[in-house]
Amino acid sequence: MDMIMNVYCIPVEIEYTHGRLAFGSFLADCVKNNSTDMDYSNSDINVKFRFFEDNDCFSILVLSEKVARSHFLLNHANNNFTVSVNSNANADFIGEINMLIIKKKNLKGVYLHNEGSMTLSTFDAKLRQGYFNAIRKLYRTKKRNEKVKINRLVDDSSIVDKLKKYKFIDEINVTFTTLTAQQSYISGAYKNHTKSVQIKMNTSGLDIGKATDRDDLVNYINGVLQARAKSVSVKGRDNVASAGEVIGLVDKANNVGIFDYDQFSNNINGMTVSSFLSNTVYLDSKDIIVNHKLLK
C-alpha cells in the first residue's frame, strides 16, 4: 500500500462574528459533554469528532472510518478507541486522522492534513454546522448575521521572499475546490463531475520590484485565501528575455510544520483517544502553535 509521505500543519484562525454563543464556550461545552453531535456516516464513511482541552488549547480529533480502504484500524471499547497501524480482523477500518489544535486566547492554531484525508474546507463546513446547531439548541433559531469560518493564515514575509526571486510576474494561477469556488464559475452541466476550478490570469509583466505592485499581489493572494482558494502559484522570470518558471506560493508547502507520514503513523500507533493530549503528535503540534510567530 502506498503511504502519503507527509502530514502538513496548516496555520489557521477561527473567526466568528455576532455569535450569541462564544466559540470558545461552544468547544468547552463539547469537551464537557463528550459531544458526539457532529458525528455522521453514510454507506462509504463513518466520521467521529472528539473534543479536548488543556490549559492552553482546544483540540478536535477527526477519525474517518472508510469502507473502501484503510491506513489505520480503530478498535472500539466503550466509546474509547485505540488506533492501530497494523491489520486486525476484529477492528473497524479507519481511513484517515485529522486534528485541529487552536490556542484559547486567540483561536489560532493548526489543522493537520495529508493528501486523501478530510480537507480543510470540508472540516470548516462541518464545524460551522455543529456551531450553528449548538446556537439553535440554546436560542431555537440562528440569526442571519451569526457567522463562523476558518481562515487559512499565510506569512506575508514568506510570500514576499518567494516573489523577490523574480523581477517580473507573467502569470497568476488560483485553484479552488468545487466546494469553495463561486457557483458562477461552474457550469451546472459539469458541477457533479468537477473536482476543482482554476483561474489563470496573464499579466503584462508585473514588475515585482515595485513595492506597490508587490503589495497589491500579496493583498490579492490573501483575498482569494479568504475566499477558500486551495492553492496559488505564479510564473516569474528574472529578465525580459527569460522563459520564466512556475512556483507555488500557497499550497502544501505553505505550512508551519511537517510530520513524516511514517513517523506520524508510528506516534499514533497504539494511541487511545482518551490519552490524545499526552500523545507525541499533539505535544509537538502544540509546541509549534505556542512558538510560531504567525500564530502569536
First to last CA, the chain: 39
Residues 218, 132 within the same domain: no
Domain count for the chain, please give it: 2
Task: For Cα atoms 180, 185, 187, give the angle at the middle one, nearest 5 degrees.
Answer: 115
Owning domain of residue 228: 156-250
Q: In what order do the strands lie in the sheet with 92-94?
A: 80-84, 72-77, 92-94
pLDDT value at residue 131:
96
Residues 29, 118 within the same domain: yes
Q: Which of 102-106, 242-246, 268-272 shows the highest mean pLDDT?
A: 102-106
Residues 271, 193 within the same domain: no
* Torsional sign, CA 26, 31, 35, 39: positive
How deeply is 27 buried, as exposed, middle or buried, from its count of CB atoms within 10 A (0-12, 13-18, 19+)? buried
CA distances from 81 to 101, 179, 283 (A): 19, 31, 19
Report the distance separating Cα 250 and Cα 146, nearest Å.
29
Least confident of 91-95, 139-143, 261-265: 91-95
pTM equals: 0.77
Provide the grid cell at 236.
Answer: 516569474
Are residues 110 and 257 in contact, defined by beta-carbon separation less than 8 angstroms?
yes
Residues 77, 12 within the same domain: yes
Residues 24, 144 within the same domain: yes
What's the whole-number average pLDDT of the chain? 84
Note the pLDDT tens digit of each residue in 180-218: 566 555 666 566 667 778 889 898 888 888 888 888 888
Residues 231, 209 within the same domain: yes
Taking each helix axis from N to C end, the angle separating 120-139 and 23-32, rounded to the nearest 10 degrees, works out to 90
Binning pLDDT at 50, 70 and 90, where does residue 292 land? very high
Residues 111, 33 within the same domain: yes
Long-range contact list for 27-31, CB < 8 A, 24+ apart? Answer: 27/51, 27/53, 27/58, 27/60, 28/53, 28/58, 29/134, 30/130, 31/58
Residues 27, 148 within the same domain: yes
